[in-house]
Amino acid sequence: MRLAVNIDHIATIREARKAPEPEPVTAAALAELAGAEGITVHLRTDRRHIRERDVELLRQTVQTKLNVEMAATAEMVGIASRIRPDQVTLVPERPNELTTEGGLDVVAHRATVADVVRQLRDASIRVSLFIDPDPDQVQASRQAGADAIEFNTGPYATARPGERPAQLSKLADVARMAAHLEFEVLAGHGLTYFNVQPIARIAEIEELNIGHSIVARASLVGMERAVREMVALLVL
């Protein structure tokens, strides 16, 4: 099980004071040294945390895999085609949301998503779609031509203890389906040191994207220790 660390909230701290620090590139380097096998950032339309400058520097320095989350817009396709991260993950984006709320509705926007996937793949960029664990969304993602899908684990993370087994079962079922369709299967959203292990036991999931929990822990114990502790939880 690979860990990709989302460092958006390092930039959130920086932007709180419009200061030059903390530096996302430094956080990414420390995360990689501690065992992260990927770095994820979300370049939002409103640039509330990560900026284009950050993505450009990360492209020059990340030694593992650089994954950029973005909306399926012409502006973002242009930026990605210029910078060329290893992977783009298409996500839904709403102006006033605190964080991503739910998965991309590929069923409803299949033509648009397929066109953006084609443009990115023509630029030699691997494409993942962040979707809810729903069979129809998996099928639509295959028709859209994506290379990978990242399942939204938010409903699992926020479920009451008695409801979590059903959420896990749903995730395991769609993960098997996605693997059968030859997707690379990823997952993330709302995962913490306390709830991650049941997700990590789903054999078909190859990589987890985790951000807030790691950055929160890093604010107390440092990035390297925070990442090492999460990596240790994924070794089952």
Which residues have C-beta within 8 Å of that of residue 126, sequence separation ≥ 6? 86, 87, 88, 147, 148
Q: Give the pLDDT of residue 200.
A: 97
Helix (H, G, I), strand (E, B) or coil at 118: helix
Tens of pLDDT along 42-97?
Answer: 999 999 999 999 999 999 999 999 999 999 999 999 999 999 999 999 999 876 65
Mean pLDDT of the chain: 96
Tens of pLDDT along 164-185?
Answer: 999 999 999 999 999 999 999 9
**Catalytic one of 32, 49, 150, 189:** 189
**Whether residue 193 has pLDDT greater than 80:** yes
Compute the distance between CA of residue 210 and CA of residue 227 in angstroms, rounded to an integer: 10
Q: How confident is the model at residue 100 (pLDDT cuts 50, 70, 90)?
A: low
**Catalytic one of 42, 49, 93, 204:** 42
Q: What are phi and psi of 191, to 5 degrees?
A: -80, 140
Angle between the 135-144 and 110-122 helix axes, to the nearest 10 degrees? 50
**Catalytic one of 32, 69, 93, 204:** 69
Q: Give the pLDDT of residue 94.
A: 78
Compute the distance between CA of residue 100 and CA of residue 42 in angstroms, rounded to an integer: 10
The structural domains of the chain, ordered by start, are 2-233 (3.20.20.70)
15 in catalytic set = no
69 in catalytic set = yes
Q: Which of 62-71, 97-106, 138-147, 153-162 has the lowest average pLDDT? A: 97-106
189 in catalytic set = yes
Compute the distance between CA of residue 132 and CA of residue 87 in angstroms, rounded to an integer: 19
Q: Give the pLDDT of residue 236.
A: 72
**Whether residue 104 has pLDDT greater than 80:** yes
CA dihedral sign, ordered 122, 36, 137, 189 = negative
Give Dmax (Cα) for the chain: 47
**Whether residue 159 has pLDDT greater than 70:** yes
**Whether residue 99 has pLDDT greater than 70:** no
